[in-house]
Structure 1
Amino acid sequence: MEGAYDALCDSLYSKIARAFGMDAMDSEVQVHLKDRLTPIASVPMPARAKALFTRLCDVSHSKKEWVESVASLVAGKPPHLWTDQDVSRFDLESLLLRNQLSHILTLASYSDDRVLAGSSDGGWAARVSVTTSRGTELEHVIQIDGVQDKQASDHADKLMSYLDATIGSDDYDMAIAVTARLTEALLARRETLSGEVDHDGRPNQACLGPIRREG
């Protein structure tokens, strides 16, 4: 039984490493993951993502203890109590949580630290993406200051009123479909600006996104 459990822990270690694009044979995945994730240590994030971040960055444990800590959080119970169903749950939940952390890393790489931490002028940053069943994915990171936030809120209120009046206030799927179509169109249009630079010669925000992928 102990041999089977050790094999499970080794398998989980490999899955965690591969999920973050690391070599599963690397004996220092914990250290390298901490180095990679440290830039988002002070960034607000969902509670479970923050809990995973904390456990992934804890290098005080042995390899096996580290795996048990991470896996227990992801699956909701320690690996020694798992069934085959729990292994499947780990695979799915770890992917979802990994994606959350990856999105936050993307946001952090293109955003000002002050904005990420919540600036006093009301500025904020957001990663906006649309993935469709047509095989297209577009992504862009935006940063706006407090004045722009007020403008965006006013426009959003007008758009919401229009959607309520034309679609109905309870047809959320259609309203979301409309905004998804609009977002996709705006991100695609913005691609035409991807080669522009600011007057100081540095790439402007348009050069940082969107990222478009087609299958």
Structure 2
Amino acid sequence: MKRFTFILLIAIISTNYIVAQEITVNNNITIDIKKVKKAPTLFHTQQNVKVKGDGLEKIMIKSKIKSENKKDVDVNPFSLLDTVNKVRYQLVEFVGYKSFSIGVPTYQGKELLKTKLLNKRGRPYQSVPDFDPKIKDTFEDYQFEGYKNITCQINFGTDKNPIVSGIYYAPITMNSFIADAFFAIQKFDKEPVFELYYGNEKVADIDIDLD
């Protein structure tokens, strides 16, 4: 399992259970929010992204997602809005998986680089995700007036020799799955109010205690 380092902060774990709410977006994708919680610094997922530094938190939103037309699910339109501080966060990590399976790996969440990274010889690094311009980062297709988009930069190298890029995700090929979506949240003087969106469609209010 690869371990990727993200230069930001994490604190303690706290969980906010919410009343289940199901919504359909894009006339096809059903999203049922199950749980919201702070994420620890390290945890068992496919990417194992580490968050450290001052002034940020990492939160997870768990949901059940279903593609009604059985097509692949593009997760990049997911974003988290802070409606008070006027920022829009891109996913920093996403894992889709079946709640139960026997003998068949079901974890999906293939990272793709937003920036093409080349070594000193002009060749792609072997230890970083792929750069594939054929798969579009659809987070960029949506804009919210007055909001600043925030894409966190992940260091796939070391502090001494950084290899840095933002990331997005390849489509999920399962048409029904559990989703763990992670966002790295900046701390501001004003208390944030969060809303989860898929494209331009609001999915849910996100209530979490960051203290």
What TM bracket, shorter-length normalisation? under 0.3
Q: Which has the higher strand share?
A: 2
Q: Which has the higher helix share?
A: 1
TM-score by length of 2: 0.24
Name which one, 1 or 2, has greater alpha-carbon Rg. 1
TM-score by length of 1: 0.23
